[in-house]
C-alpha cells in the first residue's frame, strides 16, 4: 500500500474549549478552518465546527488536529493517512478488503467533513478508525501566530504513539498491509517493547507499544524547525502550570530534543526538535533503553497510566 504520511488526527475530548486554549496558547498551534466553513473565521468562532469540534492548523493545510466533543472515554477518534490520489485509494481499499479488513469508500459528505477530495475507511486490529484520503484543502501564506514553525511536508503532520493489546496483529497490519517499516525498538520490561515505524523520512510516524493490555493513545508529537521554539513552548507550559509528564530531554533513537505535556483530555503532546531522518537504506535497530539525557517521568508505569485514560 502506498501511504505518504500521517495527514491528520481526530481526538475525542470532554471539553474541546479547554483543548482550544491549551493548543493555541500553550502549544502554539493555530486555529484552523473547520471543514465546511468557507473561510478562517474571526476570533469568537475561529477554529470551531458547528458541533463544537475544534480544529488546529500548523501549516498550509486548513486543519491537522481535530478535537471532537465526547462524553465517553477520551482518546483517539481517527487517524488520517494520506495517499497520492484516487487510484492509490482504490488499490488500498482493495488490498484491505482482500486481507479481510473493513474497506469502504466515503461519499461526498464524508469528504466534506474532512475537507479532502477522496476518502476511504478501515480499522486496525485494535478497532481504531483509520481513514485513507487524498487531496486535502490547503490555503496559502500560513504564518504561525506565535513564531512557531512545524516540520510537515513529506514527513506528514508528526507522529502518534499507540498501545496495542495484540501487538503482533497490529504490527502485521501496519507493516505488511499499510507498508510501514520498523525503524527501531526498545525493551522496557520482560516481554514489553516500544516499537517505532516509518512510512516517510520521519524517524517514526506510528509507535506501537506492547506494554499493557490496552489500545489507547499515549501521545501526539509535533516537530519544530528550531530548538528555541521548543524552549519557548516549554516556558509557556511552565508558566501556565500544565503537567509536564516528561521533562526536556533527548531520546536515544530519534535523537529528538523534546518534552511531553498532559493535554486537558489526558493524551500527552510531545513538542520537539532535531529528530533524525531515515532513508531507504535504513535497517531496523534494537536499541538499548533510555534517553541520552532528561525526559524524567517517562516511565513504563506513567506511560501505561496515560494509555488507560486516553
Ligand atoms: Fe514521540
The ranges assigned to domains in the chain are 5-134, 153-309
pLDDT at 118 > cutoff 90: yes
CA angle in degrees (0–180, nearest 5) for 155-160-165: 140
Q: What is the mean pLDDT of residues 47-56?
A: 96
**CA-based nearest residue to 104, from 87, 127, 124, 123:** 123
Domains 5-134 and 153-309 fall in the same CATH topology: yes
Over residues 59-63, the mean pLDDT reads 98
| CA 151 / ligand 1 centre spacing (Å) | 14
Which residue is listed with cell 468557507? 38
Helix (H, G, I), strand (E, B) or coil at 62: coil
Say if residue 44's pLDDT is above 90.
no
The CA distance from 126 to 113, in Å, is 24
Q: For residue 43, is pLDDT > 80?
A: no
Residues with CB under 5 A from ligand 1 (ion): 221, 270
At CB < 8 A and 24+ separation, what contacts does 233-242 make?
A: 233/26, 233/27, 233/28, 233/148, 233/259, 233/271, 234/259, 234/271, 236/25, 236/26, 236/27, 236/28, 237/26, 237/261, 240/25, 240/26, 242/22, 242/26
Q: How confident is the model at residue 288 (pLDDT cuts 50, 70, 90)?
A: confident
CA 292 to ligand 1 centroid distance, Å: 15
Has residue 309 got a pLDDT over 90?
A: no
Question: 5-134 has which CATH code?
Answer: 3.10.180.10
* Predicted local confidence at residue 169, as pLDDT: 98
Amino acid 189: pLDDT: 85
What is the homologous superfamily of the domain 153-309 according to CATH? 2,3-Dihydroxybiphenyl 1,2-Dioxygenase, domain 1 (3.10.180.10)
Q: Is 135 or 304 the better-scoring residue by pLDDT? A: 135
pLDDT tens digits along 200-234: 999 999 999 999 999 999 999 999 999 999 999 99
Q: How far is the CA of 160 from the centre of ligand 1 (A)?
A: 7
- Cα of 26 to ligand 1 centre, how many Å? 18
* Rounded percentage of the chain residues whose pLDDT exceeds 70: 100
Q: Is the pLDDT of residue 37 over 90?
A: no
Amino acid at each position: 500500500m502506498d501511504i505518504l504520511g500521517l495527514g491528520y488526527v481526530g481526538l475525542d475530548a470532554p471539553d474541546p474549549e479547554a483543548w482550544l486554549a491549551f493548543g493555541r496558547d500553550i502549544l502554539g498551534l493555530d486555529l484552523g478552518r473547520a471543514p465546511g466553513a468557507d473561510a478562517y473565521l474571526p476570533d469568537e468562532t475561529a477554529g470551531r465546527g458547528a458541533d463544537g469540534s475544534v480544529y488546529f492548523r500548523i501549516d498550509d493545510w486548513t486543519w491537522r488536529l481535530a478535537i471532537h466533543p465526547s462524553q465517553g472515554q477520551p482518546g483517539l477518534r481517527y487517524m488520517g493517512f494520506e495517499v497520492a490520489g484516487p487510484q492509490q485509494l482504490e488499490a488500498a481499499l482493495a488490498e484491505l478488503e482482500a486481507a479481510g479488513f473493513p474497506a469502504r469508500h466515503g461519499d461526498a459528505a464524508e469528504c466534506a467533513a474532512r475537507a479532502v477530495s477522496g476518502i476511504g475507511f478501515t480499522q486496525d486490529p485494535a478497532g481504531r478508525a483509520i481513514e485513507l484520503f487524498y487531496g486535502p484543502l490547503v490555503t496559502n501564506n500560513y504564518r504561525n501566530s506565535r513564531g512557531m514553525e512545524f516540520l510537515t511536508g513529506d514527513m506528514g503532520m508528526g507522529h502518534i504513539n499507540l498501545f496495542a493489546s495484540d501487538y503482533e496483529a497490529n504490527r502485521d497490519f501496519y507493516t505488511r498491509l499499510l507498508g510501514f517499516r520498523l525503524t527501531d525498538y526498545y525493551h522496557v520490561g520482560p516481554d514489553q517493547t516500544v516499537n517505532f515505524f516509518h512510512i516517510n523520512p520521519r524517524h517514526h510516524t506510528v509507535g506501537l507499544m506492547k506494554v499493557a493490555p490496552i489500545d489507547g493513545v499515549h501521545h501526539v508529537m509535533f516537530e519544530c524547525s528550531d530548538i528555541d521554539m521548543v524552549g519557548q513552548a516549554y516556558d509557556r507550559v511552565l508558566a501556565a502550570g500544565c503537567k509536564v509528564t516528561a521533562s526536556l530531554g533527548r531520546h536515544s533513537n530519534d535523537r529528538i530534543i523534546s518534552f511531553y505535556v498532559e493535554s486537558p483530555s489526558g493524551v500527552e503532546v510531545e513538542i520537539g526538535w532535531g529528530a533524525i531522518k531515515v532513508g531507504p537504506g535504513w535497517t531496523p535497530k534494537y536499541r538499548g533503553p533510555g534517553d541520552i539525557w532528561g525526559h524524567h517521568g517517562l516511565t513504563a508505569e506513567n506511560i501505561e497510566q496515560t494509555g488507560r485514560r486516553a
